[in-house]
Structure 1
Amino acid sequence: MTIKSFRYFQCPVLQFCVIIICLIYGEIIHPYISLNAWRLPDNKPSDDEVRILLIADSHIEGYHSDLWIFNDILQADSDDYLRFYFLKAVQGTNSNGVLFLGDVLDTGDIALNEDFTHATSRFRKIFLSEKDLFVILTPGDNDIGGEGNPVTKKTLTRFFANLPVKYGNYKYKFVNFYSDYRKPEIRPKISNENSSDEINVYVSHFPVISHEYVHFPLNLLKANASLSIHGHLHRSQIIHWKNTKNFENAQSNVEWIQTPQLSSISSQPLSFKLNDSLKLLEIQNKLTHKKQIKLYGELISIGVPSCTYRSGYPQITGIGLLQLYQNKSIIYTVLPLYNRYCTIFIYCLLITLLIGLKFIFYCTSISFKFKYWQKIFLLIIIVLILLMIYIECDIFARIGKLF
Structure 2
Amino acid sequence: MARKNFACEWTPKSIILTIVIGTVLFNECFIYIIQSFRWPDIGLDDYRNYEEEQVILLVSDPQLQGYQMEPRFPIGAFSRWDIDRYLTRTFGLVYHHVKPDIILFLGDLIDEGSTASDEEFYYAYQRFNDVFSPAQYTKKIYIPGDNDIGGEGRDFRTHKKEERFVKHFENMTGVSTFGFIDYIKILQQVRPHLIFSGHWHKATVFLCNDCMKDDDSSWSVKQRNIEDMTGWMVTNLTEKPFSITEIMVPTCSYRMGVPHMGYGVAIIRKNGELSYTVLWTPARYKMLYGYLVAICVCLLVCLASRLFRKR
* Pair in the same fold by TM > 0.5: yes
CA displacement at 1:105 relative to structure 2:
1.2
Corresponding letter in the other structure for 1:270: M
CA distance, structure 2, for counterparts of residue 9 and residue 120 of structure 1? 49
Corresponding letter in the other structure for 2:249: V
CA distance, structure 2, for counterparts of residue 137 and residue 277 of structure 1? 29
Counterpart selection for 1:313 from 244, 253, 258 = 258
1:61 counterpart = 2:65: yes
1:70 counterpart = 2:75: yes
Higher relative contact order (CA 8 A, sep 6+): 2
1:96 counterpart = 2:61: no
1:124 counterpart = 2:129: yes
The RMSD of aligned alpha carbons is: 2.7
- Counting only pairs closer than 5 Å after superposition, residues 265-284 of structure 1 correspond to structure 2 as 265-275=228-238
Corresponding letter in the other structure for 1:139: P
Matched residue SS, 1:151: coil
Corresponding letter in the other structure for 2:55: R
CA distance, structure 1, for counterparts of residue 218 and residue 121 of structure 2? 41
Asked whether the 8 Å contact 1:226–1:277 carries over to 2, the reply is no
Q: 1:128 to 1:28 in 2, by over 3 A?
A: closer
> Which residue matches 1:328?
272
Asked whether the 8 Å contact 1:307–1:317 carries over to 2, the reply is yes
CA displacement at 1:248 relative to structure 2:
4.5
Q: Which aligned runs of 4 or more in structure 1 are off by greater than 3 angstroms?
A: 164-168, 244-248, 352-366
- Counting only pairs closer than 5 Å after superposition, residues 106-125 of structure 1 correspond to structure 2 as 106-125=111-130
CA displacement at 1:247 relative to structure 2:
4.1
CA distance, structure 1, for counterparts of residue 295 and residue 115 of structure 2? 35
1:233 counterpart = 2:237: no
> Which residue matches 1:301?
246
Unaligned runs of 5+ in 1: 1-7, 181-216, 279-296, 367-403
CA distance, structure 2, for counterparts of residue 50 and residue 28 of structure 1? 31
CA displacement at 1:302 relative to structure 2:
0.8
- Normalising to structure 1: TM-score of the pair? 0.67
**Count of paired positions:** 297
CA displacement at 1:309 relative to structure 2:
1.2
Matched residue SS, 2:183: strand
Q: 1:11 to 1:165 in 2, by over 3 A?
A: farther
CA displacement at 1:239 relative to structure 2:
1.3
- Normalising to structure 2: TM-score of the pair? 0.86
Asked whether the 8 Å contact 1:59–1:105 carries over to 2, the reply is yes
CA distance, structure 1, for counterparts of residue 195 and residue 85 of structure 2? 30
Corresponding letter in the other structure for 1:350: A
> Which residue matches 1:384?
none
Counterpart selection for 2:209 from 242, 251, 259 = 242
Asked whether the 8 Å contact 1:58–1:104 carries over to 2, the reply is yes
Q: 1:115 to 1:365 in 2, by over 3 A?
A: farther
> Which residue matches 2:35?
34
CA distance, structure 1, for counterparts of residue 144 and residue 176 of structure 2? 15
Q: 1:362 to 1:237 in 2, by over 3 A?
A: same
> Which residue matches 2:25?
24
Matched residue SS, 2:157: coil
Structure number with bigger Rg: 1
> Which residue matches 1:141?
146
1:350 counterpart = 2:286: no
CA distance, structure 2, for counterparts of residue 235 and residue 65 of structure 1? 24
Corresponding letter in the other structure for 1:70: I
Q: 1:25 to 1:65 in 2, by over 3 A?
A: closer
CA distance, structure 1, for counterparts of residue 305 and residue 182 of structure 2? 67
CA distance, structure 2, for counterparts of residue 36 and residue 139 of structure 1? 32
Counterpart selection for 1:260 from 216, 225, 245 = 225
Task: Give the share of equivalent positions with the same residue, in percent.
Answer: 25
Q: 1:107 to 1:360 in 2, by over 3 A?
A: farther
CA displacement at 1:277 relative to structure 2:
8.6
> Which residue matches 1:380?
none
CA displacement at 1:164 relative to structure 2:
5.0
CA displacement at 1:310 relative to structure 2:
1.3
CA displacement at 1:92 relative to structure 2:
1.2
Q: 1:276 to 1:43 in 2, by over 3 A?
A: closer
Q: 1:248 to 1:163 in 2, by over 3 A?
A: closer
Asked whether the 8 Å contact 1:225–1:277 carries over to 2, the reply is no
Matched residue SS, 1:345: helix
Q: 1:41 to 1:358 in 2, by over 3 A?
A: same
CA distance, structure 2, for counterparts of residue 332 and residue 250 of structure 1? 27
Matched residue SS, 2:256: coil
Corresponding letter in the other structure for 1:268: G
Q: 1:157 to 1:20 in 2, by over 3 A?
A: same
1:341 counterpart = 2:285: yes
Query: What's the CA shift string for 1:363-383, capped at 9, x where partnerless?
Result: 8989xxxxxxxxxxxxxxxxx
Matched residue SS, 1:74: helix
Q: 1:167 to 1:363 in 2, by over 3 A?
A: farther
CA distance, structure 2, for counterparts of residue 169 and residue 308 of structure 1? 28
